[in-house]
């Protein structure tokens, strides 16, 4: 159980690290595009192009900040603890779905198994909070039974 949760945490860290690398490239490209925008005879086109490049760079910088924060929060999770109730760091297995409350990465395929990575602040994570094996909750308009929590 601990090894499985640790492998999920590492998979999440890889996903976020990859996202950060892609965003860094996008920031560099946006900066380069803004810097290389040539003056033209079309008047404001030059300034508009530079402004759009800077807006794009700012958007990517915001995404990078969010991903960096998500990575830091994920790295703080102790996967050595076996939980008996759903909480941050817990893995929740149901008949049709599995959840890992650690980082908001959505549905990921890990070892050919779909697992929903939930941010501890996500509405679904809050709905699961303090539930244990044998409890049920409403998910996708279906009553879902929790088979195990660890």
CA distance 90 to 5: 8
pLDDT digits (tens, 9 = 90+) for 42-98: 555 556 767 777 788 899 999 999 999 999 999 999 999 999 999 999 999 999 999
CB 99 within 8 A of CB 124: yes
Question: Which whole number is the average pLDDT over 120-134?
Answer: 97
| Four-CA torsion 14, 20, 24, 26, nearest 10 degrees | 100
pLDDT digits (tens, 9 = 90+) for 3-57: 999 999 999 999 999 999 999 999 988 888 777 755 554 555 556 767 777 788 8
Whole-model pTM? 0.84
CA distance 112 to 105: 16
In 10 A of CB 103, how many CB atoms? 26
What is the predicted pLDDT for the residue at 73?
96
CA distance 54 to 103: 29
Averaged pLDDT score across all residues of the chain: 91
CA distance 13 to 17: 6
What is the predicted pLDDT for the residue at 41?
47
137 bridge partner residues? 144
Taking the alpha carbons at both ends of the chain, their separation in whole angstroms is 7
116 bridge partner residues? 99, 107
Q: Check residues 54 and 127 and name the one with the higher pLDDT.
A: 127
CA atoms within 13 A on the CB side of 81: 11
Question: Which whole number is the average pLDDT over 100-118?
Answer: 96
Judging by beta carbons within 10 Å of its beta carbon (0-12, 13-18, 19+), is residue 20 exposed, middle or buried? middle
pLDDT digits (tens, 9 = 90+) for 111-126: 899 999 999 999 999 9
């Amino acid at each position: 159980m601990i090894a499985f949760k640790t492998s999920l945490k590492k998979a999440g860290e890889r996903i976020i690290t990859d996202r950060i690398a892609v965003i860094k490239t996008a920031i560099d490209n946006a900066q380069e595009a803004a810097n290389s925008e040539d003056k033209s005879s079309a008047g404001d086109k030059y300034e508009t192009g530079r402004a759009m490049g800077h807006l794009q760079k700012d958007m990517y910088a915001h995404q990078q900040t969010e991903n960096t924060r998500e990575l830091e929060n994920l790295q703080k999770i102790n996967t050595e603890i076996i939980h008996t109730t759903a909480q941050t760091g817990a893995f929740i297995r149901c008949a049709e779905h599995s959840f890992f409350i650690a980082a908001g990465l959505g549905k990921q395929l890990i070892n050919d198994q779909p697992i929903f990575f939930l941010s501890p602040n996500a509405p679904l994570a809050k709905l699961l909070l303090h539930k244990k094996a044998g409890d049920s909750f409403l998910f996708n308009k279906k009553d879902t039974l929790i088979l195990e929590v660890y």
